[in-house]
Chain A
């Protein structure tokens, strides 16, 4: 019963928790991954859209500015048709209202500078090189054209960066072309204020990839920054995203200028995505924690009653007699299981009681049968002895014998009780010894040593008599010299110990074994085995009979039984 096999299986808690958490974790991971992937592409898309919107706004504004300049050019053209005085007046008024026009210049058909109007400035006498007019280009182009940025070189100590808008004039005037030098004041105010995200910006370039205006133009001119304008010039209008940068290119209608929007994926997208990742992980952890808690609670709900049941079964297994079943609560299944177990416990305990009762009854019947068997034999021997005493006129002895016999039978019947007070049992043993002493003609002596405190406790009836009978038959009968029997009754803690000691021939181990095993069939009288069996049935396996013997020295039989008082054991 002790060597149970060790449990190798997993607890229900472990299985449930790991399964639920595992499944939830996998599903969560998949969901988060899918979600983030979608989210990122959506973010990139929206970043591209917002970039495209910003760029198209700039493109519109700059387009308007250019149209404005075209109109201004028309105005200048018309002014040039006027007489010299009104022309100067008109142009100075024009320059006053157009602060971003640095200079208006007109050229003859061979490219010579004819006139120059600029607010508060006169051109140098010797112009080393005029970057504002390109005769070759003027001749080849059909209408008005715009130059790349260059330095204004017409004036002394004044070198601003400008772009030049040159237009041909109608035939019939002295001047063949007119140019407007435009500073970047207006364009910079449009472009510098455009932000896409935190670091994104717009710049202007022409179709050849020359930068017209860049918010960080000086950095580019100083060689610290650069834009890959060659690659951008090759791109058609639209948005282009790579891992880090979104480029958005839009042409300005009616010119060869293009607006390029540059924004950074990391700040527009990655920050949001990082935020999302953080959020999703927080969510995932909350969900996982919830799953963990739920599964743990669930397993507690299932596992704890099951464990309770298992504990109950285990304790039932170790001590079925004293087990009282307390029902285990829990789910319906567990309750059903618990109820079944409860019924089973009751049933098993009933069965056990029945079995024990049957056993007791069996022994009682056996005892009665044996008594019925022994009595006549013992009775006629004793009656023979009494008759013999009467014949010899030993009336007093005969009376004693008759009394002893009467006591013997009264006690052995003892109203059918199995347990009698130890005093009675001692009386019974003494009566038997008296009778046997007469019969064996004083071949042995006997003595009783009884602790008076023991007398009131109960013991099985006819416990001592079979042992004394055995001592007389096996130990003393064969002896030549006088034998002696000592009967001792002592307390030993919660137990009472009977000891029957003789100084007879003793027994070998095989003989002891035979006595302990042999049933009463092969001989008359109640066997020692019967005594031992009854003790064990009544008081449990810790109690019973023990024989120790040494050949030619004697035999000692020790009987151990618990202290039992009147009423304690009546039910059994």
Chain B
């Protein structure tokens, strides 16, 4: 009799196990992720969004994309962070306009349990689980090295940078300045911090070039400033005299590269940033966050006139998916 009871208990146990297995939910709830960008205008950011949306589709994530109108407006960004958290975002994929002034908003979001993934430009917060983007210091070095390799003699460098409080712009500038200083034949003649907007950048660059006619190398550290610098060079008809190294891919700078106003482009991988940012957010939310690295370096490559139509450069420069812009 005792043994029968035992058997009955075993059977009951096995049944409950099975039922447990069977009732295990296969469908998980859809996570909500917000991407707060620096801008919603440039090709760079559109490419980030395309990558983010691809990841959102693949991982069944509800993605909302937000970004201020100008790349200096960190206050709006902070509001957007708060708004996204209020609207129920469980994770933020964030690119900081201001390394320091965005920190409080991110900390506040994190204190409500929101996971933070930084892309492109980091923020001064312990809450950032992982940073996905370009190694900006190395990208700056790369830009300087591109100029050093292709220009002979003395280099008088003018730097067109954007907002001084943005982490990635400053890192790129340090990398470039360090490399120029180390080379011994280059001198940084002027540095301007203009707006990340082509027209303003164009005017400021033209002003700088007028003030310092000796400048023979120009570095511009993001897409709008590169476009502005290229316009300025073309406007002053200085394409032959000035070696311009720009950042990122834009139809204007790509045209400039073929026509001569732009001499080299440091091309980042925005699609990967967007994709990996949302993927990391999903992993954090679904409990696979332990495998994430603190920093993920997305690839960067130099494109100049000679290699611009190799397959690799084509892949880096031109988005496969055509966008309506």
List the interface of chain A (C-beta within 8 A of B): 13-14, 17-18, 21, 126, 128-129, 131, 150-151, 153, 156-161, 183, 216-219, 221-224, 278, 281-282, 285, 288-289, 292, 296
Contacts and interface: CB of A to CB of B under 8 A. Distances in A.
B251 A158 contact: yes
Contacts of B252: 157
B255 interface: yes
Nearest to B1: A13
Contacts of B299: 223
Nearest to B4: A296
B54 A219 contact: yes
B275 A224 contact: yes
B259 interface: yes
Given A17-B7, A157-B251, A222 B269 contact: yes
A40 to B, nearest CB: 19
A221 B251 contact: no
B314 interface: yes
Nearest to A18: B3
Given A150-B311, A224-B271, 5 more contacts: A13-B4, A159-B318, A218-B50, A221-B316, A292-B11
Interface in B301-325: 305, 309, 311, 314-322
17 contacts: A13-B1, A126-B259, A128-B258, A128-B305, A129-B309, A150-B309, A159-B317, A159-B318, A217-B320, A218-B54, A218-B319, A218-B321, A222-B271, A224-B276, A285-B11, A285-B14, A292-B11
Nearest to B50: A218
B68 interface: no
Interface in B252-290: 252, 254-255, 258-259, 269, 271-272, 275-276
B18 A282 contact: yes
Most B Cβ at <10 Å: residue of A160, A216, A221, A292: A221
B18 A222 contact: no
A159 B11 CA distance: 68
Contacts of A150: 309, 311, 314
A131 B310 CA distance: 10
A257 to B, nearest CB: 18
Interface residues on B, range: 35 or more
A151 B15 contact: no
A569 B15 CA distance: 67
B182 interface: no
B318 A218 contact: no
A131 B258 CA distance: 13
Contact of B318 (A18, A161, A288): A161
Contacts of B271: 218-219, 221-222, 224
Nearest to A221: B315
A151 B318 contact: yes
Contacts of B21: 278
Contacts of B317: 151, 159
Nearest to A289: B11
A159 B269 CA distance: 18
B15 to A, nearest CB: 6
Chief secondary structure at chain B's binding surface: helix
B309 A285 contact: no
A223 B51 CA distance: 12
A296 B6 CA distance: 13
Interface in B45-94: 50-51, 54
Contacts of A160: 322
With most chain B CB atoms within 10 A of its CB, the pick from A14, A160, A224, A296 is: A224
Greatest chain A CB density within 10 A among B276, B320, B322 is at: B320
B11 A221 contact: no
Contacts of A128: 258-259, 305
Smallest CB-CB A-B distances: 4 pairs: A128-B258, A221-B315, A157-B251, A222-B271
A156 B272 contact: no
A371 to B, nearest CB: 63
Nearest to A160: B322
A128 to B, nearest CB: 4
A157 B252 CA distance: 7
A285 to B, nearest CB: 5
Contacts of A151: 309, 314, 317-318
A17 B254 contact: no
Given A131-B309, A221-B320, A278-B18, A159 B259 contact: no
A153 B275 contact: no
Interface string B1-40: 1011001100100110010011000000000000000000
Nearest to A153: B309
Contacts of A288: 11
A131 B314 CA distance: 11
Contacts of B321: 217-218
B275 A159 contact: no
A222 B309 CA distance: 16
A222 B273 CA distance: 10
Contacts of B50: 218
B296 to A, nearest CB: 11
A18 B6 CA distance: 12
A157 to B, nearest CB: 4
A159 B311 CA distance: 14
Contacts of B318: 151, 159, 161
Nearest to B19: A282
Given A221-B320, A223-B299, A292 B272 contact: no
A218 B320 contact: yes
B81 to A, nearest CB: 26
B322 A156 contact: no
Given A161-B320, A218-B319, A17 B3 contact: yes
A158 B7 CA distance: 75
A282 B20 CA distance: 12
